[in-house]
A and B are shown apart, each in its own frame.
Chain A
């Protein structure tokens, strides 16, 4: 009985095995990479308004530092870019938008300078919104297999802000101004190419990157000025 079953199985399978041996192994092609349409970035880093308002009575210290000490955020944010054009052998041009959140807080001080145990908090909250034009240079990664991507961004910031002390909102507004950024990114695909390919096939994520970005914001047209003229951030990006 078992012998008969085995013989039947060999007969049924023989054609397909023969077919495979006759050339199907050589006809398997690399899967086609899905098109790149978007970039999503999750980001965070220090952000301190470049407040140039100083207090001469405190040795020229900035009012921001006097209020919030060394609080530098962090600013947490998200950016989403839409690829509109790909320049051959250079990379995509995109337009995008970003938003973030940062809050600074510290104990208020007694107005008379006494050492009273003030439990009241003073705070400044920023919600930066950005419109960006993006040029992403990925020729090294695409053509030379060097997993580095460089990006330049120009745009405009609108930064709603709120200043509170205790439960009183002492000021609020929307500052706006020019914004620039330069980014260097390391593509993570080379660590695990199969996993990267799998992410593309299953999720449509072409590439994932770790990036470092320096940038500046000149949203300084309100009091307080809330732009940070030069700072940095780290993030994780996905090309979709």
Chain B
């Protein structure tokens, strides 16, 4: 199965986020904004991410969302129009979860060092409702090298002038979003004992962290030695649309972000002064280099970086990678085993009449809620002929059979008819009693 399909197929995710009159952010008490923010199709994600009011942080975005730079669509409503000094510009800012980017003071702190509100883009207001499309790398800070989950609040400010100096009153809206680029730890598989079976081979693992989304299993047929497998602790990468397993040497130790980000391509993602009347911002334009208005002393200004596409990743890291197209499967995040059908890997019975591979290497990857993938754990499987209960009976000349003349002495059809007679007799007694009772 195509690896991308595992992530992207299925029901398209739709989020409806009603917001406006009751902004729930309690960390910083402030008047509620009046703009209604509705988020739909967040990062092309097919997961049903639970939300609570304007909080959609319960399942964070992950490294794969950053890698694909998927686009999130947001609809802004209740933009004031037909009033004196009506807003003409919609600015989008990203702040920390405890920061109120709707205030000028937060957007322009006296000391630039404390500035954490980041301008993302600016749009000319075209009506009371607008759609804004924001790439994930703008929506969250993909490049920030911090372990664990981080949360951001995205502000939509409706103003008439430069967004950095203007008070916008209550003409704003916001929602919260989270990112977690730290992969879960690898599970532990049995690398010394090859799991074997004829029609079903159970692959087991331990040490899975809690709160996982799924496990992905990949396999490649051929002689297997899990103890010396060079890909233990490596990563799964999608190369030319196919999953490949790559050695651990291509994996960084800080969560894999560095491996995926080419810092030399870093560009400053600045607010766009005028996007004309276009309703949608093309993701490819989102990293347009723009002059930064009055941000010379802002060391925390976001550095978004161009991550390599799948094609680039092929160029960067195919050395030593092996295609795993032969088999892939998904197990629930709460499971600790998977029953493999050897036919899925095309395995033949060892020593049998049919020529082919009887062994395979299996790679198990834990996937967390943010769809980050753990390093791979390796185990071996082998298809061998097994002996079950019916095989034992057959070996004694009594194959499993529904029509066997192996009744115990004195028991058989005659008893059947006898029991039918007893039953009829009992029913007769029953009817006799009822008639007598009348």
Q: Which of B404, B415, B429 contacts A178 (CB 8 A)?
A: B415
Number of interface residues of A (CB under 8 A): 56
| Nearest-CB residue, chain B, relative to A134 | B426
| Chain B residues near A154 (CB-CB < 8 A) | 422
CB distance from B248 to the nearest CB of A (A): 26
Q: Which of B194, B389, B418 contacts A116 (CB 8 A)?
A: B194
B403→A222 contact, CB < 8 A = yes
Which of A31-39, A166-174, A187-195 participates in binding chain B? A166-174
B198 within 8 A of A: yes
Q: Which of B200, B396, B402, B416 contacts A53 (CB 8 A)?
A: B396
A229 within 8 A of B: yes
A111→B384 contact, CB < 8 A = yes
Number of interface residues of B (CB under 8 A): 51
A139 within 8 A of B: no
Q: Which residues A46-93 have CB closer than 8 A to chain B?
A: 50, 53-55, 63-64, 66-68, 84-85, 93
A116 to B350: give the CA distance in the assembly, Å: 12
| Chain A residues near B419 (CB-CB < 8 A) | 131, 155-156, 178
A2 within 8 A of B: no
A118 to B286: give the CA distance in the assembly, Å: 55
Q: Which of B341, B416, B422, B429 contacts A84 (CB 8 A)?
A: B429
A221 within 8 A of B: yes
A111→B201 contact, CB < 8 A = no
B386→A224 contact, CB < 8 A = no
A119→B196 contact, CB < 8 A = yes
B389→A223 contact, CB < 8 A = no
| Chain B residues near A117 (CB-CB < 8 A) | 193-196
Q: Which of A112, A119, A163 contacts B389 (CB 8 A)?
A: A163
B429→A93 contact, CB < 8 A = yes
| Nearest-CB residue, chain A, relative to B423 | A131
| Chain B residues near A64 (CB-CB < 8 A) | 389
Known: A53-B396, A117-B196, A120-B200. A163 touches B388 (CB 8 A): yes
A128 within 8 A of B: no
A165 within 8 A of B: yes
A109 within 8 A of B: yes
CB distance from A119 to the nearest CB of B (A): 4
| Nearest-CB residue, chain A, relative to B404 | A223
Per-residue B-contact encoding for A102-118, CB less than 8 Å = 1, 0 else: 00000011111010111
Q: Determine chain B's interface SS by DSSP, over half rule.
A: mixed
Q: Which of B351, B389, B427, B433 contacts A124 (CB 8 A)?
A: B389
A165→B404 contact, CB < 8 A = no
A167 to B342: give the CA distance in the assembly, Å: 11
A218 within 8 A of B: yes
A177 to B196: give the CA distance in the assembly, Å: 39
A44 within 8 A of B: no
Which of B96-104, B326-334, B405-413 participates in binding chain A? B405-413
B341→A173 contact, CB < 8 A = no
What are the nearest 9 A-B pairs in CB distance? Answer: A171-B400, A173-B402, A165-B388, A122-B388, A166-B199, A120-B197, A166-B200, A119-B202, A170-B390
Interfacial residues, chain A to chain B (CB-CB below 8 A) = 50, 53-55, 63-64, 66-68, 84-85, 93, 95, 108-112, 114, 116-124, 131, 133, 154-156, 163-168, 170-174, 176-178, 218, 220-225, 227, 229
18 A-B contacts (beta carbon < 8 Å): A53-B396, A53-B398, A63-B398, A64-B389, A93-B426, A95-B430, A110-B196, A111-B385, A111-B391, A118-B386, A119-B195, A120-B200, A123-B389, A156-B423, A220-B411, A222-B402, A223-B398, A223-B404
Q: A117-B195, A163-B389, A172-B402 are in contact. List 18 more A-B contacts (CB 8 A).
A: A84-B433, A108-B386, A112-B384, A117-B193, A118-B384, A120-B196, A120-B202, A120-B386, A133-B422, A165-B198, A165-B389, A166-B199, A167-B199, A168-B198, A168-B199, A218-B407, A221-B406, A221-B407
